[in-house]
Amino acid sequence: MSGCANVEHIHTLKSLLNEKESIISVKMKNVNGLKDLEFDIDTLTELLTVIEKLIPFHLISTKGPMHYINNVMYHKESNNLKACQSCAIWPELTSLDDVTYENLVNRIPSVMTEFRHLMNQLEMFVY
């Protein structure tokens, strides 16, 4: 698998794991470089669950979201509620009228809190 992971990739990997009963060796890259890791099936399935939750955060780093407001506002101009929900990481958004600069700025702290929480979960597996 190459490129950016998506939900379909994660679901495929999880279904393949259900067919196996052994230790899986994987190479993962972190800030310290490439690392060989071994996981039992349950742990790898749990890791993939965390990675799946991180997919919506693909343009966010520990310093903050990249182009967050511009991306969401672009989709608002296209009248694309679903894309706004996705880019804003705001699944409960029901109206494009709520997509304002002020609302998006106010959402950033909670988005970052959720991102850091997920990164801490991922850190248990990788670092």
Answer yes or no: is 2 within a domain. no
Q: Which domain does 110 fall in, by range?
A: 7-126
Answer yes or no: is 72 within a domain. yes
Answer yes or no: is 1 within a domain. no
pLDDT in tens, 5-32: 455 656 666 666 666 556 666 666 666 7
The answer to whether 118 touches 110, Cβ cutoff 8 Å, is: no
Overall number of domains in the chain: 1
Torsions phi, psi for 52 (to 5 deg): -60, -40
Average pLDDT score over residue span 103-122: 91
pLDDT in tens, 37-71: 777 777 877 878 888 888 888 888 888 888 999 99
Q: What is the pTM of this model?
A: 0.67
